[in-house]
Amino acid sequence: MEVTLIHILFLSTSLFFIGMFGLFTRRNMITMLMAVELILNSVNINFVAFNKFLYPEQLTGVFFTIFIIAIAAAEAAVAIAIIIHIYRNHKSIDVEDSQDMKY
């Protein structure tokens, strides 16, 4: 079976929902961050695939991918700073334990 755009979209869909599954089930902040990284990666695959297979004369998808990677790096750094700060105050990074701002 020849690989077309649809196969790549199937792959990225599966990756996205695996990430969603991890986000639903995991209660540890670092593993939830990993799930978010998977979701962002599936979006990047989509952008590059659309760029390559439908509009190869432009580079829009490649630029979006690069910008998303940069934003993901910034997001991961901020998230980990927050997680380390929470760990110092609560001695736990379980989402159920950090409820100070809930009510």
Partner 1 sequence: MTAYDIIFYLLGGFILGNAVLAMTTPKIFRAAIFLLFTLMGVAGLYFWMHVEFVAAVQIIVYVGGIVVLIIFSIFLTQESGTKMPKVNNKRMVFSLLASVCGIVLTMLLINQYAFPEIATTTLDASPNKIGMQMLDYSERGYALPFEVISILLLSAMVGCITIALKSNPEEV
Interface ranges with partner 1 (CB under 8 A): 1-11, 13-22, 24-28, 30-31, 33-35, 37-38, 41, 44-45, 48-49, 51-57, 59, 62-63, 65-67, 69-78, 80-85, 87-88, 93
Token pair listed for 77: 């750094």
φ/ψ of 97, rounded to 5, equals -85, -20
Q: Which is nearer to partner 1, 88 or 102 (CB)?
A: 88
Residue appearing with tokens 């829009």: 60
Min CB(102)–partner 1 separation in Å: 19
In three-state secondary structure terms, 88 is helix
Min CB(2)–partner 1 separation in Å: 6
In three-state secondary structure terms, 54 is coil
